[in-house]
């Protein structure tokens, strides 16, 4: 056989060569060829990661654009504070600081401020924030992604995440909740409201604007409880109810109120 080639593994050269058959020979890759192949694989992996990251950002952009379009009608339809918010506030230190992560038009911010709490509202929709600032002019507001907050550790006595985790991909939820844990003071309390159902990531028709679709991360009770436990949060109370009108997404509404477990630090 020519130099630099080998017979197939496990083959018998004499048998292969019988009946005038030529041996099948394979060229041994050079070191440079192997490095080039590895470089191609690494570039492909990095490209896929960038594509995946872009898809995640695209979901966020879609959500933000939809809420910017419906902010006025949303504020008109949803004027009441979040379910069971008083059960949450009972556990937060009186006069303490609260982060509303995904504050929307500021209904909960204004309500909590009226109860004597210092409230910071965060949302990505400028339309929603515009309404929120008018509802609670003495509160603090930031335009930010709840996955990328940069508050100092032990900043808040309570964090309200009322139907905001439902708009981020599953792969980001645990890290986001772990950040909430970090932002909470000792004995801090977290409120989580989700659309409960069979776990899936879907785009659904926005009830307030049927020609638009919005991204939802549907979580089961077991799924969200596991995330909270992994983040070091203990469940204090749990509430659930079905959708009550056509303006709500057709999933059960699950509220969990949890407390920071200092032993997890």
Position 3 scores a pLDDT of 46
Q: Are residues 39 and 104 in the same domain?
A: no
pLDDT at 54: 46
**Confidence at residue 28, expressed as pLDDT on a 0 to 100 scale:** 78
How confident is the model at residue 56, as a pLDDT? 47
The range of the structural domain enclosing residue 48 comes to 30-54
Same domain for 161 and 46? no
Residue 24 inside a domain? The answer is: no
Domain assignment present for 2:
no
Q: Is residue 16 part of a domain?
A: no
| 152 and 74 assigned to the same domain | yes
Establish if 20 belongs to a structural domain.
no
Look at residue 75 and tell me if it is in a domain.
Answer: yes
Number of domains in the chain: 2
Say what the pLDDT of residue 44 is.
74
Residue 232 and residue 188 share a domain: yes
Q: Tell me the residue length of the chain.
A: 265
**Residue 25: CB partners within 8 Å, gap ≥ 6?**
1, 2, 5, 6, 7
Residues 119 and 244 in one domain: yes
Whether residue 106 sits in one domain with residue 50 = no
Q: Are 46 and 96 found together in one domain?
A: no
Q: How far is it, in rounded angstroms, from Cα 107 to Cα 153?
A: 26
Instruction: Let me know whether 218 and 130 are in one domain.
Output: yes
**Per-residue pLDDT in tens (0 to 9) along the chain, 265 residues:** 444 444 444 445 444 444 555 555 556 778 887 777 787 888 777 666 555 544 545 788 889 999 999 999 999 999 999 999 999 999 999 999 999 999 999 999 999 999 999 999 999 999 999 999 999 999 999 999 999 999 999 999 999 999 999 999 999 999 999 999 999 999 999 999 999 999 999 999 999 999 999 999 999 999 999 999 999 999 999 999 999 988 899 999 999 999 998 765 5
* 79 shares its domain with 187: yes
Q: Tell me what pLDDT residue 48 has.
A: 61
The reported pLDDT for the residue numbered 49 is: 59
Same domain, 61 and 50: no
Do 113 and 127 share a domain, yes or no?
yes
Considering the domain boundaries, does residue 18 fall inside one?
A: no
Sheet containing strand 140-143, strands side by side: 140-143, 118-123, 97-101, 156-162, 184-196, 252-260, 233-241
Residue 264 is predicted with a pLDDT of 54
Q: Are residues 104 and 177 in the same domain?
A: yes
Please check whether residue 257 lies inside any domain of the structure: yes
CATH number for the domain harbouring residue 105: 3.40.50.150
Whether 49 is covered by a domain: the verdict is yes
């Amino acid at each position: 056989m020519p130099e630099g080639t080998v017979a197939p593994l496990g083959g018998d050269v004499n048998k292969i060569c019988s009946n005038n058959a030529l041996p099948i020979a394979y060229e041994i890759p050079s070191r440079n060829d192997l490095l080039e192949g590895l470089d191609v694989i690494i570039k492909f992996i990095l490209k896929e990661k960038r594509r995946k990251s872009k898809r995640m950002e695209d979901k966020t952009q879609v959500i933000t654009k939809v809420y910017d379009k419906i902010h006025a009608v949303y504020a008109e339809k949803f004027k009441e504070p979040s379910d069971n918010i008083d059960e949450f506030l009972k556990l937060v230190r009186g006069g303490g600081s609260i982060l509303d992560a995904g504050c929307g038009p500021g209904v909960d911010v204004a309500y909590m401020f009226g109860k004597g709490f210092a409230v910071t509202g965060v949302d990505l929709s400028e339309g929603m924030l515009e309404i929120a600032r008018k509802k609670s002019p003495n509160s603090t507001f930031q335009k930010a992604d709840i996955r990328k907050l940069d508050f100092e550790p032990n900043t808040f006595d309570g964090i309200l995440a009322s139907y905001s985790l439902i708009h981020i991909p599953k792969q980001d939820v645990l890290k986001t909740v772990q950040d909430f844990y970090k932002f909470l003071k000792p004995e801090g309390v977290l409120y989580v409201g989700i659309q409960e159902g069979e776990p899936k990531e879907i785009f659904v028709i926005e009830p307030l604007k049927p020609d638009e679709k919005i991204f939802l991360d549907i979580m089961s009770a077991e799924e969200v409880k596991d995330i909270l436990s992994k983040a070091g949060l203990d469940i204090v109370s749990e509430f659930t109810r079905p959708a009550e009108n056509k303006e709500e997404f057709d999933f059960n509404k699950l509220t969990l109120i949890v407390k920071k477990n200092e032993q997890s630090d």
